[in-house]
Amino acid sequence: MLKRIIKTPPQTTTIIIRLMVGAVFLSEGIQKFLYPDKLGAGRFEKIGFPEPEFLGYLVGSFEIGCGLLVLLGFLTRLATIPLLAIMLVAIATTKAKLIAEDGLWLMLHESRTDWSMLLGSVFLLITGGGKWSIDRSIWKKQQNNET
């Protein structure tokens, strides 16, 4: 099972997607702790989620932890799963209202970062961490040990 999770092709360009996805999630997670009234609990309360303080810290912690894992390329596929869930909930809870009130084009404009993070995370779920990742180093060591 671990082999399937860490197996990744030696693509060098994957690091660009990892840096983008990891840095944005890490930054957003940190900001949920720095500015809880605007970006953490306050935002979750405004959306109408129950237990907004708990959710602010939970989501922020996952964004920080999984963002770091993605940046390092360690357990990349597993790290993208919570990030995908975060993005799907974010799009469903904040952008569905926009499309109903302001139309498709404004919703697409307002959600460009959300879609980029969602699609970048899907890419990493499919491909893994790429050539310059801890996953690739572990995979190569396992392959060498088997031969």
Give the three-class secondary structure for 51: coil
Examine the pLDDT at 2 and tell me if it is beyond 90. no
How many whole angstroms separate alpha carbon 75 and alpha carbon 8?
10
pLDDT recorded at residue 4: 82
In a domain? residue 71: yes
In a domain? residue 2: no
pLDDT band at 10 (very low <50, low <70, confident <90, very high): confident
pLDDT band at 19 (very low <50, low <70, confident <90, very high): very high
Dihedral of CA atoms 45, 58, 70, 4 in degrees, nearest 10, equals -120
Range of the domain at 21: 14-146
In a domain? residue 140: yes
In a domain? residue 106: yes
Q: Which two tokens stand for residue 110?
A: 């307002």
Domain count, the chain: 1
What is the reported pTM? 0.90
Examine the pLDDT at 16 and tell me if it is beyond 90. yes
Examine the pLDDT at 1 and tell me if it is beyond 80. no
How many whole angstroms separate alpha carbon 62 and alpha carbon 27?
12
How many whole angstroms separate alpha carbon 137 and alpha carbon 147?
16
How many whole angstroms separate alpha carbon 45 and alpha carbon 114?
20
- The candidate with the shortest Cα–Cα distance to 26, out of 117, 133, 137, is 117
If you average pLDDT over residues 49-54, what whole number do you get? 96
